[in-house]
Structure 1
Amino acid sequence: MTARDVSGVALTPEQWRLVEELVQSLDPAQACWLGGYFTGLEAGLRSPPSQAVSPMQSVGRKLTILYGTETGNAAELARALETAAKGKGLSCNHSDMADYKVRQLAQEEDVLIIVSTYGEGDPPQPATGFFEFVEGRKAPKLEGKRFAVLALGDSTYEFYCEAGKRLDRRFEELGGERLAPRVDCDIDYEEAAEAWTRAIIEQIGAEAKLATVPAVAVSSPAASTVVHDKRNPFPAPVIDNIAIVGRGSTKETRHIEFSLEGSGLAYEPGDALGLAASNDPAVVAALIDMLALQPDAEFEHKGQTVRLDDALTHRFEITTATPRFLDYWALLSEADALKQLLQDDRSGDRSVFLHTHHIIDIIRRFPVTDVMPQGFVSALRPLQPRLYSLASSLAATPDEAHLTVAPVRYDLHGEPRCGVATGLLADRAEPDTVLPVYIQSNPHFRLPGDDAPIIMIGAGTGVAPYRAFLQEREVRGAGGKSWLFFGERNFRTDFLYQTEWQGWLKDGTLGRMDVAFSRDGNDKVYVQHRMKEQSRDIFAWLEEGAHVYVCGDATNLAPDVHEALIDIVVSEARTGREAAEDYVRSLQSDHRYQRDVY
């Protein structure tokens, strides 16, 4: 048999047979697309073999993106970084530090790190194992490896961006070479993160030797639905907003329901609802009055003309004082006390000052005349969304999102103060009020399979996600055992969702419940005390494969429960503390010990 000539192109009989078989299996649209594909591929097929490279395949260094996150911001940035890298033709992958195989670090080449700081300089809880490995004796030498760090933090804390600083120092100690200096981002991280992403990808992309073939444009129908997310929240009407503590309670806790009908938003138990909060109009008015400015004063902001009162209500953080504002007000007021706080050796005093003075307190204490609106807002941070653990399951409450909220109220300098978002929810979110919301995924706080036992530990509003867990398990008919430890102040007034827990106990959705009401007796009893009382059964559940969840206060509850777990293992496994700590660490690495703390 001889080759067959087709329009001057010779095909072998075998090639012609394959073409005929392929053509018979294609519809007209597929045939048209394939024709365009081969047209675009022609240039690559003509290239000498030594230059032929797969479409968009990099022949440069291996690129890995690692992120450590508590609230999901670092994960979002890592995905954006990966998208930018692939847009430049770079082959890369991204991984949560919680899931990363640490022994693989020795085989990496270029590592880009995005990590947030939690609490007083600690890494995000899911990333703890990664930090322990990197900062430990078993960490590999990193000669020949390159790295860059994007650190997320909150400048009002003394150990600002410390987790990122720790990895930056450690990678250098291990012999790694910086691709670029570390960048530290405050809570208004978006612009700085975008600039870092753009610069680092341009740098790596310029170094990489890429060979690509022309891409074939494949038309796709225009998106017909609007996606609601952090940048485009959904205007959700409030369905209900009720107090769920009894008369005489020393606390204020509310159950708030939103309608998500028509939003397209979906969530899983363990996720959070993001709220794009706005400032209290009374606080805005008081601040404008102290500055001796007019509410309708206009200025330019990001290419738009905005009114001062609107900007201070919806765009900027006007309560929490930051180092940025301190710098600005010290320059404007020329106050010696403020200048001293800015000195490098006064970081501790500066942190205390910022946490005990709102912006309006600083203005009152160090008054300034002739403040310009545009200059003033340049010293403020953008108003950030607030996240709340969802207290509902979509399977049980379609098109709804429920929250359990305790308003933050306190006195400062002789005046009552209130949290920005909790005050909005408690005082200004009447039924039918519309508030902008979105869903923040939390993959580190997920239900296991339906047959797995779960132990849920929480105090106060930390019980919210467990309501979602049990709603979900009830709808699914899950057979796994469940055990709730719940703590609050008083049984009579503060037993949140009491009738619902009792209903689930009755039908078997909830197998056991232990409660700790700290103000009901002479001695204060908390959930960790109840855990130790049930140490034998808790350890038995752990040995059966139970998953442990902790939700609530990061300052007291989380560390106290963690210590209680270690003590239980020491007691019931009859082992030493070091072995017990390893046991608990293994629960974390296996995703059987998950925390959502704040």
Structure 2
Amino acid sequence: MSTPAPGKPVYNVKNPFIAKVKKAYDLSGPGAPKNTRHYEIDLAGSGLEYTPGDSLAVQPQNDPALVDDMLKVLGFSGEETVTHPKTAAQVPIRQALIEGSLITEVDNKLIKAIIEKTNGQTLLADMATPETKQALKDYLWGRFVIDLLIENPDAKFEPAEFMGVLKKLNIRLYSISSSQKAHPEEVHLTVATVKYTSHGRERGGVASTFLAERITPETTIPVFVNHGKGFRLPEPEEETPIIMVGPGTGIAPFRAFVEERKATAAKGKAWLFFGEVSSATCFFYKDEFDAYLADGTLTKLTTAWSRDQAEKIYVQHKMLENSAEIFAWLEQGAIVYVCGDAARMAVDVDKALHTIIEKEGGKTPEEAVAYMTAFKDAKRYRRDVY
């Protein structure tokens, strides 16, 4: 990370910039299985600087309605004074829970406290052993703190004691989806709103629902830039080709990349692979990318729509369809960037690359592994997966 210039503000988790969201709109259309949104955050006067490939740290807040429900279960008025988990100030417990505590995940300290307070007369006691670790994990999936309180009414807490069995509400990192050269006083985000129903209660991701449902023109959000290291574009004067694979919200850094390429008149070829559920409802930033294709900022755009036909088609399938050309780009020194889901997509893309190298390079599986190892060692395979 570069050292800030003298006199320039330094923003971090303890000293975030208090920003406002100047614009927000849906990227996904009616009928899409999930709501994906575009946010434009005002950085005017902050001095904040970022580069494509960086992330924005956002400090979210919990849903006040969920906090109020939990306070009722606990028998608290909400005005009891406690220590704020983030600032150490003395504040009402309602404020502390909204701003500073993680209430959508259960900490081991809460489990132990409930077991003690119920003298072991709880289902949790039967699962709190090394042998039943997976059973406990399965049980806790989709349960918030409030669920354990409802299921264990004999576990009574004092306000300060209750705060002590909760984790802190941490920042959320989002890949920045804009170039500062294109938007000098703004930073853009591309965020899927996480919503689901579990155990009879509608649930939501803390940060994504905070942004989607509780941001008004007057709402302020604490933010700072988390500078990336390896997820960077080649210098604009270089001829290095780039291949970008970013389905879903994995498109975010590549929108920033392409905006940066446009602003710097980058020379190398650029190929974007994007995938989502349906072209009709989920072709994020379509008009922008079409324009970049037309003016040559983007060389190729290949899309995969998983539900627009009988068989499901994902980005890795489109990569295999274009295996000869991808291998030709690799042989020309291309850098491959992958952003998005680590558990499935990134694994499948990695397998596709091995297959392409074997098939088009005439290599054995072992030789393909060696090729990929050299590829990684040369820092030509860069991933931002989560």
Task: Give the TM bin, normalised by the shorter chain.
Answer: over 0.9
State yes or no: 1:296 paired with 2:89. no
Per-residue deviation at 1:524? 0.5
State yes or no: 1:250 paired with 2:30. no
User: Does the C-alpha gap of structure 1 residues 259 and 371 become closer, same or farther in structure 2, counting only changes over 3 Å?
Assistant: same
State yes or no: 1:397 paired with 2:183. yes
Q: Deviations over 1:90-147 (max 9, x none)?
A: xxxxxxxxxxxxxxxxxxxxxxxxxxxxxxxxxxxxxxxxxxxxxxxxxxxxxxxxxx
Alignment correspondent of 1:468: 256
Alignment correspondent of 1:457: 245
Q: Which amino acid aligns with 1:586?
A: A
Does the 8 Å CA contact 1:322/1:354 hold for their aligned counterparts?
no
Does the 8 Å CA contact 2:84/2:96 hold for their aligned counterparts?
no
Per-residue deviation at 1:350? 2.1
Q: Which amino acid aligns with 1:437?
A: V
Per-residue deviation at 1:432? 4.1
The 5 A counterparts of 1:509-524 are: 509-524=297-312
Alignment correspondent of 2:217: 431
Q: Which amino acid aligns with 2:92?
A: R
Per-residue deviation at 1:224? 4.6
Structure 1 unaligned spans of 5+: 1-74, 80-222
User: Does the C-alpha gap of structure 1 residues 348 and 545 become closer, same or farther in structure 2, counting only changes over 3 Å?
Assistant: same
Per-residue deviation at 1:225? 4.6
Q: Return the match for 2:147 from 358, 361, 364.
A: 361
Alignment correspondent of 2:99: 314
CA distance in 2, matches of 1:333, 1:571: 62
CA distance in 2, matches of 1:254, 1:514: 22
Does the 8 Å CA contact 2:102/2:169 hold for their aligned counterparts?
yes
CA distance in 2, matches of 1:466, 1:547: 13
Structure 2 unaligned spans of 5+: none
The 5 A counterparts of 1:28-107 are: none
The 5 A counterparts of 1:181-200 are: none
Q: Which amino acid aligns with 2:110?
A: F
User: Does the C-alpha gap of structure 1 residues 224 and 483 become closer, same or farther in structure 2, counting only changes over 3 Å?
Assistant: closer
Alignment correspondent of 1:324: 109
Alignment correspondent of 2:357: 569
CA distance in 1, matches of 2:72, 2:353: 52
Per-residue deviation at 1:452? 1.1
Q: Which amino acid aligns with 2:385?
A: V
Q: Deviations over 1:174-195 (max 9, x none)?
A: xxxxxxxxxxxxxxxxxxxxxx
Per-residue deviation at 1:306? 2.2
Q: Which amino acid aligns with 1:382?
A: K
CA distance in 2, matches of 1:309, 1:504: 48
Q: Deviations over 1:229-278 (max 9, x none)?
A: 12111111111000112222222111000011111111110100000111
CA distance in 2, matches of 1:369, 1:461: 41
TM-score calculated relative to the size of structure 2: 0.95
Question: Please, what is the CA RMSD of the aligned residues?
Answer: 1.7
Does the 8 Å CA contact 1:260/1:401 hold for their aligned counterparts?
yes
Alignment correspondent of 2:44: 261
Alignment correspondent of 1:418: 204
CA distance in 2, matches of 1:423, 1:251: 12
Per-residue deviation at 1:486? 0.4
Per-residue deviation at 1:433? 2.4
Does the 8 Å CA contact 2:83/2:96 hold for their aligned counterparts?
no
CA distance in 2, matches of 1:370, 1:540: 66
Per-residue deviation at 1:437? 0.5
Q: Which amino acid aligns with 1:350?
A: L
Alignment correspondent of 1:208: none
| Greater relative contact order (CA < 8 Å, ≥ 6 in sequence) | 2
Does the 8 Å CA contact 2:40/2:189 hold for their aligned counterparts?
yes
User: Does the C-alpha gap of structure 1 residues 575 and 224 become closer, same or farther in structure 2, counting only changes over 3 Å?
Assistant: closer
User: Does the C-alpha gap of structure 1 residues 541 and 225 become closer, same or farther in structure 2, counting only changes over 3 Å?
Assistant: closer
Percentage identity across aligned positions? 40
Q: Return the match for 2:118 from 305, 322, 333.
A: 333
Does the 8 Å CA contact 1:241/1:430 hold for their aligned counterparts?
no
Q: Return the match for 2:286 from 498, 501, 506.
A: 498
Q: Return the match for 1:380 from 166, 188, 203.
A: 166
Q: Which amino acid aligns with 1:275?
A: V
CA distance in 1, matches of 2:48, 2:257: 19
Does the 8 Å CA contact 1:228/1:263 hold for their aligned counterparts?
no
Q: Deviations over 1:498-526 (max 9, x none)?
A: 00000000000000011001110010000
Does the 8 Å CA contact 1:238/1:259 hold for their aligned counterparts?
yes
Per-residue deviation at 1:301? 5.5
State yes or no: 1:305 paired with 2:90. yes
The 5 A counterparts of 1:510-589 are: 510-589=298-377
CA distance in 2, matches of 1:425, 1:300: 26
TM-score calculated relative to the size of structure 1: 0.62
Q: Which amino acid aligns with 2:175?
A: S
CA distance in 1, matches of 2:262, 2:151: 56
